[in-house]
Amino acid sequence: MSGASAALHHRGMEEFAVSEDGCPTAPSPAVTVHTRVLHRACQVLGGVDQLAEHLRVSKTMLRRWLEGEDVPPSVVFLKAVDLIVPPWGPADDAHAESIRLRKN
């Protein structure tokens, strides 16, 4: 087995960390903005089952994304982002307006 294929073979056999809340975390080399957002969304909803249902994807596919084995489609990723970003409010409107006025 070549060095690259051996690394891939062993990577697939690694134990992935699962936090106390049941949401898998990717191993350090595989951590990306995608894995971090999905992990936080998993925590917000209370687990893999709930997040998979919310995103309308299989638990198997979700786990692949959480573990950094694959990248979710943009539409799925943005749905997860919506879960973790605070809602836009009046203070945000005021800030956006002040920026707009400074540009003019």
Q: Reduced to 3 states, what is the DSSP secondary structure of residue 19?
A: coil
Name the band, by pLDDT with cuts 50, 70 and 90, for residue 6.
very low
CA angle 69, 48, 27 (to 5 degrees): 35
Residue 104 confidence class, pLDDT cut points 50, 70, 90: confident
pLDDT on residue 20 = 59
18: helix, coil or strand? strand
Query: pLDDT-derived band of residue 18, with 50, 70 and 90 as boundaries?
Result: low
pTM: 0.70
Q: Which residues pair with 75 in a beta bridge?
A: none
Is 37 in a helix, a strand, or coil? helix
| 63-93 per-position pLDDT tens digit | 999 999 999 999 999 999 999 998 889 998 9
Which residue segments constitute the domains of the chain, with CATH numbers given?
3-103 (1.10.260)
Burial pattern 11-47, b for ≥16 Cβ within 10 A else e, equals eeeeeeeeeeeebbbbeeebeeebbebbbebbbebee
